[in-house]
Structure 1
């Protein structure tokens, strides 16, 4: 039973990622860039590069090309950390905020499409069940 549930969940996750990917492409972003943009946008206060790498669960040197690409697109700005001049803080530009909202809408549309086969009550029940599983310590 647990194996079947795990496989169903994996399949649903794959379909959701495909839906995201189809919507992120027209925004000019890869899934990795979207994840980084999302983390930077949601951070308070601004993140250091090493914190972004930690949050994304990647090695620090792997975050540099992602941030480089976001910066080249005008979505992210690097700033010297006033508390530690050797560190770099990441902040969204105004265009980055616009793109983050576009990503938010793309994610909403993909989820809405995927879960449209469920009634609102079923969606709420699924949310509650998945929250219960997610909140349990690993």
Structure 2
């Protein structure tokens, strides 16, 4: 029973974090999925093939298409033919996209600060360590 309660609490806290983040992304004109894609593109050393971006986001490539469409329509990313393989498409982040990725990263940090403000610094460090330990078993 205790593990069920822990799982439910974890899910509830995750939902609160996602809602706080989404609320902060609204003024930026981004969905959480678009913000995640921008973050991955901004952190990549070079433009990513669509299939690699989908892998990084842990989604199927066909689910990525509307995300990249929206980023492209907003001028935040663009598609280019991969010169190494003309059958592949690269996604390139624009300077505007890079700027918005940073603002979205700040929004994410603010959402986390708000959610975890109730915890002391030591409690947050302990929680971070515990979550890393749980996450490490699935890598």
TM-score, normalization: structure 1? 0.94
Is 1:90–2:91 an aligned residue pair? Answer: yes
Is 1:111–2:117 an aligned residue pair? Answer: no
Cα distance in 2 between the residues matched to 1:53 and 1:67: 10
Match of 2:4 in 1: 3
What is the RMSD of the two structures over their aligned residues, measured on CA atoms? 1.3
Residue-pair matches, total? 138
Match of 1:53 in 2: 54
Cα distance in 1 between the residues matched to 2:138 and 2:37: 25
Mean Cα displacement is larger for which, 77-86 or 5-14?
A: 77-86
Is 1:39–2:40 an aligned residue pair? Answer: yes
Cα distance in 1 between the residues matched to 2:10 and 2:62: 32
Mean Cα displacement is larger for which, 123-132 or 81-90?
A: 81-90
Pairs within 5 Å for 1:68-87: 68-87=69-88
8 Å contact kept, 1:41–1:91: no
Q: Deviation of residue 52 (structure 1)?
A: 1.6
Q: Secondary structure at the match of 2:87?
A: strand
Pairs within 5 Å for 1:13-32: 13-32=14-33
Match of 2:125 in 1: 124
Q: Deviation of residue 55 (structure 1)?
A: 2.4
Cα distance in 2 between the residues matched to 1:52 and 1:137: 20
TM-score, normalization: structure 2? 0.93
